[in-house]
Chains A and B, each alone.
Chain A
Amino acid sequence: MKFLIQLITIGISAFILELVMPWWCIAIVAFAAGYALKSKANFLAGLFGIGLLWLIKAWMLDASASAPLTERVAAIFSLSKPLLMLVTALVGGLVGGFAAMTGASLKKAKRSDSYYPQ
């Protein structure tokens, strides 16, 4: 449950922040959610939170397209259209995943420092 909340929070906040900030705001969002909403699978929450957001957005833009730009760009990179969508999701997802993981590991660090002195 916590995982799902974390994932959805990442997706929604990234969606909002992307309206006003460059692409790398996804790292900030995932980092913050990794820290504040730490779950058992932070990496996966970031990966799917951002990956799905990017996939759905890309898919929606492509679905309403008046010209086959996705196919054209895919061909420039010698990819197929579904593969280009997947690569898009993966690029966003990986950044989200690692950022979420980083955020989560910061929290653990704090806890261990304050509660379990060595």
Chain B
Amino acid sequence: MLNLRFFISLAFTLILVFLLNNSWQLGATRIPPLGKFLDPFHGFWQNIEPKGFTGPKELQITGLTDKVTVVYDSLLIPHIFANNDDDLYLAQGFVTAQHRLWQMEFQTYAAGGRLSEFLGEGPEGRILDIDRSQRRLGLGYGAVHALESMQKNETVRMIAEKYTEGINQYIATLDYKTLPLEYKLLDYAPEGWTPMKCALLLKRMALTLNIGDKDMEMTNALKLFGKETLDLLYPDREPGIDPIVDNAGGWKFDPVRLDSIPLALPDELIAIKKLPNPDPNVGSNNWAVAGSKTATGSPILCGDPHLNLTLPSIWYVIHLNAPGVNVMGASLPGAPAVTIGYNDSIAWSVTNAQRDLVDWFKITYQDSNKNKYKLDGQWVDTKKVVEEIKVRGKETFYDTVIYTHWGPVTYDETYRGENELKNYAFRWISHDHSEELLALHKLNRAQNHVQYMDALNYYGSPAQNFVFASVSGDIAMRVQGKYPVRRKDEGKFVLDGSKSSNGWQAYIPNDQNIAYKNPARGFVSSANQFPADSTYPYYVTSTSYESYRNRRINNVLRESSNITVEDMAKLQGDNFNMKANECIPVLLFYLYEELPDSSRNFLEVVKTWDNFNTEDSEGASYFEAWWTELMPMIWDEMNTNAVLEWPTSYNTIKLLKENPNLSFFDIQSTPEKETAKEIVQKSLARAVRKISKWKKDHQTENVPWAEYKDSFIGHLLPPLRPLGIAVKHGGNGSIVNAHSRSNGPSWRMIVSLEKTGVKTWAVYPGGQSGNPGSYYYSNMIDRWVADKHYQMIFKSTQAETEKAALYSTSLNPVSK
């Protein structure tokens, strides 16, 4: 007879092993395969990096032509010494993947609309919706064009292929034990890298930086409020601003002129569920001061790009050395070369150069088959692309996206739409062919202003303000991107997609882009403000321009002389709240009546505040509480189904001051009629309640700004909240130290371009390793919070670099 006990016991064991060897979906959460995951010999425990951990001394790498040495310094920054460019980029791919593989791949999955593949459709289908949005915005379509451009140019093709090879060499070394933590948690494995992924990654950056638009919002505002009010609420150019390049009367070129057919203004109300615009706090600072203003007599260049702060860190610092190049700085994991940095002769940094680079075209189909649409009086064929979105644990989702002359039809009745008649095609500059990698490759090797200008001619999108300084003493700024020539008000509203003349007819020639060199004031700067004075001969518009950081930076620089690196570090960490400084007097002006005690105490704190958002500042918390009550109260008219956008803070304050009887100050939910005076008083009462509630909730009498702001640097995958880090820090959006709750300076760099050698200081909120089990995951955060930089090790030889080495790894070639 069969032994029943044996079989029951065997079956039980096998079932147990099976259960623990597989991942299971329990409600909204996915449980990793617990046996695999918890096994201390292979599972997540193996991702714990021991104290004093160093990498291998030698590695064999297929595809290298010669030996490459990678010297890691005490911040785990790799200094790569190669004998040719091919090996250099291969090593960059390998070394970056070694620290950031999961992040690199995740970002390309996100851009390609493939997150559902390993995350599933998500709660209420949210992940699938994100994937569909990327497909319907045509990120892949843009990436294919970028890839085509890459393959056309010999150099860029080599760069992308070698970088790819390096990443794949690293992937080939992995097994479950050495897999990055996130793969183990989410139970999937890396796939091979391709140059297409580099292209996707660049499109993801473009998505963050230049996809903002307000065409639908403006169309609705026009319909609801009329043209006059629209111009009052959303002026193209806010008065009293300080443009990036003030060159009044100095634009000596013959601009491209278009036959000025007045564009028909639309007359419609759009109630689609528009995808959210990028965070307006995404911005940046950069500036360079000439030797005439510095203590050393050499130029100093500073840059701090502001992004949604995440871990693993957005940037990966790297030093690339080969014959003809010695460059160091911040690189984007997944994209070859250095994006922001310095070499022996020059330094550069970028801020986002806002401009309207997006248009929405209303499409009229012939019939519900959508096989043809109207264009210039004819029915033209559409192209239907079936997007295949694999969904973990469910059947594949197929989404038909219709392509037109303009680009993909993002919104229709199948996606966030309103009805069958509302079909909007998306035209985006980042859909076009472009050669950013060539621009970066050349910029990395540029020796002077001429070569910097030449390199930037290859740069298309996302448009950036490139600050420059050289050891030879030049400073410069160039607003570079591919910019369509716009007619007045063009691109502000939704356009009629049945006329090709409504599209972009020409692009601003590179040599007519906004730029200048060595201005008399001795410095150049940009902080996402309006780019040029009013004599610049092209029409310039954008979702919004920043109005505060740039003026503060310029005020400080204008008044400074004998500038030192310490002064620059101080300016990067400057907490002066210019918005509050300009707003508070306006608010106080309306508070002349007798107030209750609680409000008087509140006001006392605001009045005596020095307008600096330092960590312990209480006034900063009170002002923020007040401001965040005031804005929605003023713009309550905009809570409609039709998508609308609030005017800027700058313009709101101006209207409060100059138009106290503006109809928007009336609160719609109350029977009485409010003006600026009442709205200031009522928002104050609410702010007082908000602060006292905060005090009660936190059981304290103090409301220090850092506690009130409560910043958090989250993991790239937000549900993995314990992998993020809470930080208590000063600053805020609109402040030079632009750290709001989740956005902030993602990289801070100061470069002193001295004749005796380029010296640099930098810091960023995170660390070089993407492994949450590594000391280097977050080791720089404390210094970043203290607004302190590290001096970078930047030498031109391997021997000198090795003096400061944590350890070195030789990458030895193996023949294929």
Q: Which residues of A contact B (CB under 8 A)?
A: 18-19, 22-24, 27, 31, 54, 57-58, 61-62, 64-67, 69-73, 75-76, 87-88, 91-92, 94-95, 98-99, 101-102, 105-106, 108-109, 112-113, 118
Contact = CB atoms under 8 A, between A and B. Distances in A.
Contact of B723 (A19, A72, A95): A72
A23 B45 CA distance: 13
A18 B42 contact: yes
Given A64-B51, A94-B16, A95-B13, A23 B41 contact: yes
B782 to A, nearest CB: 14
22 contacts: A19-B41, A24-B17, A24-B21, A31-B13, A57-B40, A61-B50, A66-B51, A67-B48, A67-B777, A69-B47, A70-B45, A73-B44, A75-B722, A91-B20, A92-B39, A95-B13, A98-B9, A98-B12, A98-B16, A99-B13, A106-B3, A106-B6
Interface stretch (B30-38, B482-490, B670-678): B30-38
B259 to A, nearest CB: 61
Given A66-B53, A98-B12, A105-B9, A92 B773 contact: no
Interface of B: 1-3, 5-6, 9-10, 12-13, 16-17, 20-21, 34-36, 38-53, 176, 181, 185, 720-723, 772-775, 777-778
B13 A22 contact: no
Contacts of B775: 66-67
B42 to A, nearest CB: 6
Contact of A67 (B2, B9, B41, B773): B773
Contacts of A98: 9, 12-13, 16
B39 A61 contact: no
Given A65-B49, A76-B720, A102 B10 contact: yes
B38 A69 contact: no
A94 B42 CA distance: 18
Contacts of A61: 40, 45-46, 48, 50
A30 to B, nearest CB: 9
B176 to A, nearest CB: 7
Nearest to A84: B38
B50 to A, nearest CB: 4
Given A91-B34, A98-B16, A69 B39 contact: no
Nearest to A62: B48
B777 to A, nearest CB: 6
Contacts of A92: 35, 38-39
A108 B41 contact: no
Nearest to A108: B3
Contacts of B720: 76
A101 B43 contact: no
A70 B775 CA distance: 13
Given A64-B51, A65-B51, A95-B35, A57 B774 contact: no
Contacts of B20: 91, 95
A64 B723 contact: no
Contacts of A69: 44, 47-48, 181, 772-773
A98 B15 CA distance: 11
A87 to B, nearest CB: 7
A52 B101 CA distance: 33
Contacts of B723: 72, 76
A58 B35 contact: no
Nearest to B13: A98
B426 to A, nearest CB: 37
- Of listed A24, A58, A71, A73, residue having the most chain B CB within 10 A: A73
Contacts of A58: 40, 45
Contacts of B43: 23
A76 B715 CA distance: 12
Contacts of B17: 24, 27, 95
- Secondary structure dominating the interface of A: helix
Contacts of A113: 3
Contacts, number: 128
Contacts of B34: 91
A15 B537 CA distance: 75
Contact of B49 (A31, A66, A75, A94): A66
B634 to A, nearest CB: 41
B9 A70 contact: no
Interface pairs A-B: 3 shortest CB-CB:
A109-B3, A75-B722, A69-B773
A45 B701 CA distance: 58
A65 B48 contact: yes
Contacts of A66: 48-53, 773-775
Contacts of B47: 69
A67 B181 CA distance: 13
B711 to A, nearest CB: 19
B398 to A, nearest CB: 33
Contacts of A101: 9, 13
B16 A57 contact: no
Contacts of A57: 40-41, 45
A65 B39 contact: no
Contacts of B39: 18, 23, 54, 92
A39 to B, nearest CB: 15
A61 B3 CA distance: 42
A109 B6 contact: yes
B5 A105 contact: yes
Nearest to A98: B13
- Of listed B36, B39, B185, B720, residue having the most chain A CB within 10 A: B39
Contacts of B1: 118
Given A69-B772, A108-B3, A76 B722 contact: yes
Given A54-B39, A65-B773, A95-B35, A70 B13 contact: no
Nearest to A15: B41
Nearest to B52: A66
Nearest to B39: A23
A18 B723 CA distance: 28
B773 A102 contact: no
A95 B34 CA distance: 12
Contacts of B45: 57-58, 61-62, 70, 88
Contacts of A106: 3, 6
Given A24-B21, A75-B722, A99-B13, A91 B46 contact: no
Contacts of B40: 54, 57-58, 61, 88
Contacts of A19: 41
Given A75-B722, A98-B9, 19 more contacts: A18-B41, A22-B36, A22-B176, A23-B21, A24-B21, A27-B13, A54-B38, A57-B40, A61-B50, A62-B45, A64-B51, A65-B48, A66-B773, A70-B48, A73-B181, A102-B10, A102-B12, A105-B9, A108-B3
A23 B49 contact: no
B327 to A, nearest CB: 30
Contacts of B42: 18, 22-23
Nearest to A99: B13
B12 to A, nearest CB: 6
B3 A72 contact: no
Nearest to A56: B40
Contacts of B6: 102, 105-106, 108-109
B174 to A, nearest CB: 14
A91 B9 contact: no
Contacts of B48: 61-62, 64-67, 69-70
A64 B50 contact: yes
A12 to B, nearest CB: 14
B44 A87 contact: no
A30 B721 CA distance: 38
A69 B16 CA distance: 27
A48 to B, nearest CB: 16
Contacts of A62: 45, 48
Nearest to B773: A69
A95 B455 CA distance: 62
Contacts of A95: 13, 16-17, 20, 35
B49 A67 contact: yes
B691 to A, nearest CB: 31
A75 B1 CA distance: 50
Contacts of B3: 105-106, 108-109, 112-113
